[in-house]
Amino acid sequence: MQEENREKRIEEPQEVVNWYVRPNDREVVDCYVQPRPMPVGAAPAQPPAAPKKAGKKGLRIFLIAVGVLLAVIVAAIVVSSLTDGETPSIRGDGSTDGEGGDASSIVDIFRTEKTTIPRMQGEAGVSMTCTAPSGEKLSIQDVYAKVNPSTVLVVAERGDKASIGTGVIMTSDGYIITNAHVISGGKSCWIALDTGYPYDARLVGYDEDQDLAVLKAVDAEDLPVAEFGDSGQCRVGDTAYAIGNPLGVELRGTLTNGIISAINRDVQVEGRVMTLLQTTAALNNGNSGGPLINEYGQVIGINTLKMSGTGSEEEEATVEGLGFALPSSDVCFVVNDLIATGRFRGIPTLGVTVTNSPDNGGQVVVYTVEDGYGAAEAGIQPGDVLLKADGQPLHQINDLMAVRRTHLVDDTMTLTVLRDGRVFDVEVPLYANKG
């Protein structure tokens, strides 16, 4: 199978489709509902009229996920050409000739479904790390040259259906990060490098709530690897770039730019809150799972959502420049747990709140201790000064967070504590965050 893959190359579609079928718009009040794509050839649904509210005008907010919409006509053409080496012709009614089958059968691929992609266990010692930016800022061209080779096309096949997204290469032997919704419901999966070189892929693990998945390219070696930066270093106004495959294969490797427009933005997604980076870099269907990048060419987020429209009671308006990415610092927790256990057990936490107290030279000081977590069990008290974590000096809160990101749930962290003039070490177990 792998040898057959080595003979495949991405081919440009022979026909250009000049229209795009939107997913059904869903009105959102306080939660995000993942939309489903329209059947190919159908007219886009009109958004519902905004409900009238007494005394004020309301807003209609629509959100879409930015990947898995291979059910557009372009994608229906491409799947056959990529897998069978043939490009079917497309008729005016939206159906196809050839082995690609009836394009109208490609429907409802966005809903959350259990994947049956062949799985493999993650290897010991494989982990994602985030580093602070260093060196000189790169030009736009240099950012693209650095990151695009480590950005891949992700195709999850569902029999007569398929989805396309983007992924980021984490290791040279083929561990790849993408969104869980990209591979949702998939029966098989493969990836392609920016050169078009394909690999079969196996599923290491995924978590729908965090919308992250880890894949492993079969028999891969010497792949270009992305550098992951610390999203905790981001500031509003920082330049940001995105690379992905908007609308599928035809526009693969597209670079867009903007700024970080908000940090720690809480977005309600189907009843749960996701804390995300907000960016003005253009994101579209197919960008899901791709990198959000800083000026140093570091991946600081995994693109996952965009806000597509808003309107008043009287009119509908288009919204631009509201994209969202999973911060790399959070991605790190999830990805490393998926590799280690095949599932995400939760973000490890000490169970304390801390502050940089000016009374202690800016040292990290425990402010509160929460019952039911490891710090309380270990005897940590409010007012304790944390000097080190696992032997690493703590000068600011981010230093403590950086050490925590190296741990998984059920690990133990060693804290060096100053209390009443006495310095001692405490072993603190890390439990999953219950919040």
Among candidates 22, 32, 31, 21, which has minimal Cα distance to 305? 32
Q: What span, in angstroms and rounded, lies between the C-alpha atoms of 23 and 2?
A: 35
The residues facing 354 across adjacent strands are 366
Contact present, 295 and 227 (Cβ < 8 Å) = no
Residue 28 CB coordination number (10 Å): 17
Residue 31 CB coordination number (10 Å): 14
Choose the catalytic residue: 80, 95, 163, 181. 181
Q: What span, in angstroms and rounded, lies between the C-alpha atoms of 423 and 401?
A: 21
CA dihedral angle for residue 154, residue 208, residue 72, residue 1, rounded to 10 degrees: 30
Count of CA atoms in the C-beta half-sphere (13 A) of 285: 25
Q: What span, in angstroms and rounded, lies between the C-alpha atoms of 216 and 119?
A: 9
Contact present, 364 and 396 (Cβ < 8 Å) = yes
The residues facing 431 across adjacent strands are 349
Among candidates 251, 278, 255, which has minimal Cα distance to 265? 278
| Widest pairwise Cα distance in the chain | 81
Q: What span, in angstroms and rounded, lies between the C-alpha atoms of 227 and 223?
A: 13
| Active site annotation includes 288 | yes
Helices (H), 228-294: none
Choose the catalytic residue: 25, 211, 330, 337. 211
Contact present, 227 and 286 (Cβ < 8 Å) = no
Residue 148 in tokens: 């695009």
CA distances from 270 to 25, 29, 34, 273 (A): 15, 11, 8, 8
**Strand, coil or helix: what is 256?**
strand
Contact present, 392 and 406 (Cβ < 8 Å) = no
| Active site annotation includes 211 | yes
Choose the catalytic residue: 288, 308, 328, 329. 288
Residue 326 in tokens: 């999973």
DSSP structure class, residue 187: S
Please give the single-letter amino acid code of residue 173.
D
Show which residues are catalytic.
181, 211, 288
